[in-house]
């Protein structure tokens, strides 16, 4: 294995306290708990309350990650936030920077669909490497995936409203002995844009008059998806990304690894059936694949992979005992996709 030291030194997450069950959704649209469970695996999702904001989630997750890594906000040199539900400027990353007091850092958002966290990790990692190799400086990056998808969901569209949830996950990337990033790979195919996009149309949205769900004319872009068409491309692309990141690592490493050497996979949590199909195609045993997130949180887009780290916190915290190789893999609008090969412990 090549010597690498930049890795995940701390993790933190935050989900809103309000939980929407499948039974709750039965009261909103023509659906059923049975349909949602069998088609998606989703049982609950968390949504922002009317006094909570996406920034609140991002701040809480980030503070937890900083504390976990034992670094202060002043030490951060770079902030990258993967987000699809912040339709304004300045960026969510700069708002986060101000609240945290990380004023010595650069900060920007990453727009890459549900792969925004992976893209953010790749960018931040490459920057840290360049700083280290070229300028002999150790930087500290904060990489966040944060979403308020409930704000861009059309709550009258049963095709999409059952699928998504809100949440945020953050990691601190720096020189660490807790693990290392070994390889990253990203790709996009803009031809698929019309299958999964957001656009301002009328619909039913979370209200600003105190009601949870109201029907109103809206200038916010709603999310649209041709789920049946997206599904097979999602499976095929995630399988390809896993193989691509392993190939990339093997190209530069002395030792060759295969999928059988991967101890654990964190796939983007869009749909349990997609995850199961990816695992089957890779011949990866399902007990080595993270699936809990989609069941508990639904599809939280850029937040789904770091939320998985927090669900497996014991492993991250005690990573020293048994080193293992892990892969994160995501797919989303754009169709932007990506994967990261990491060593934990």
Nearer to ligand COA, 71 or 213 (CB): 213
Tokens at residue 171, please? 């990691």
Q: How far is the CB of 231 from ligand COA (least distance, A)?
A: 4
Q: How far is the CB of 228 from ligand COA (least distance, A)?
A: 4
Known catalytic residue at 299: yes
> Exactly one of 161, 268, 271, 310 is catalytic; which is it?
268
Q: How far is the CB of 331 from ligand COA (least distance, A)?
A: 6
Known catalytic residue at 250: no
> Exactly one of 13, 22, 84, 114 is catalytic; which is it?
114
Residue closest to ligand COA, measured at CB: 227
Nearer to ligand COA, 28 or 257 (CB): 28
Q: How far is the CB of 297 from ligand COA (least distance, A)?
A: 13
Known catalytic residue at 22: no
Nearer to ligand COA, 91 or 299 (CB): 299
Q: How far is the CB of 131 from ligand COA (least distance, A)?
A: 32
> Exactly one of 22, 84, 271, 299 is catalytic; which is it?
299
- Rounded Cα distance between 156 and 138, Å, is 49
Nearer to ligand COA, 39 or 240 (CB): 39
Preceding amide of 90 cis, omega within 30: yes
Nearer to ligand COA, 39 or 281 (CB): 39
Positions that interact with ligand COA (CB under 6 A): 31, 35, 39-40, 114, 158-159, 162-163, 225, 227-228, 230-231, 234, 270-271, 299, 331-332
User: What residues act catalytically?
Assistant: 114, 268, 299
């Amino acid at each position: 294995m090549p010597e690498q030291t930049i890795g995940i030194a701390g993790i933190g997450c935050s989900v809103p306290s309000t939980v929407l069950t499948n039974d709750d959704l039965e009261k909103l649209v023509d659906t059923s708990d049975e349909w949602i469970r069998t088609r998606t695996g989703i049982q609950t999702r968390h949504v922002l309350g009317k006094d909570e904001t996406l920034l609140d989630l991002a701040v809480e997750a980030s503070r937890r990650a900083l504390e976990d890594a034992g670094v202060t906000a002043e030490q951060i040199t770079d902030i990258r936030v993967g987000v699809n539900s912040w339709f304004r400027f300045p960026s969510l990353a700069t708002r986060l920077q101000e609240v945290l007091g990380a004023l010595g850092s650069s900060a920007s958002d990453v727009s890459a669909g549900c792969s925004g966290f992976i893209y953010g990790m790749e960018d931040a990692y490459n920057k840290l490497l360049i700083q280290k190799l070229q300028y002999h400086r150790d930087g500290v990056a904060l990489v966040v995936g944060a979403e308020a998808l409930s704000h861009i969901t059309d709550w009258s569209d049963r095709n999409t409203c059952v699928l998504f949830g809100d949440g945020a996950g953050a990691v601190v990337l720096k020189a660490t002995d807790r693990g290392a990033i070994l390889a990253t790979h990203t790709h996009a195919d803009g031809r698929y844009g019309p299958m999964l996009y957001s656009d301002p149309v009328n619909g039913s949205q979370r209200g600003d008059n105190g009601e949870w769900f109201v029907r109103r004319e809206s200038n916010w872009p709603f999310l649209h998806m041709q789920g049946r068409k997206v599904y097979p491309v999602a499976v095929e692309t995630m399988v390809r990304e896993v193989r691509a990141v392993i190939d990339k690592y093997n190209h530069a490493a002395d030792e060759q690894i295969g999928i059988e050497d991967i101890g654990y996979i964190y796939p983007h949590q869009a749909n349990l059936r997609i995850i199961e199909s990816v695992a089957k195609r890779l011949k990866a045993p399902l007990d080595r694949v993270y699936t809990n997130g989609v069941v508990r949180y639904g599809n939280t887009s850029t937040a789904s992979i770091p939320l998985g780290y927090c669900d497996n916190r014991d492993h991250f915290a005690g990573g020293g005992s048994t080193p293992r190789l892990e892969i994160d893999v995501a797919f989303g609008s754009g169709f932007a996709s990506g994967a990261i090969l990491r060593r934990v412990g």
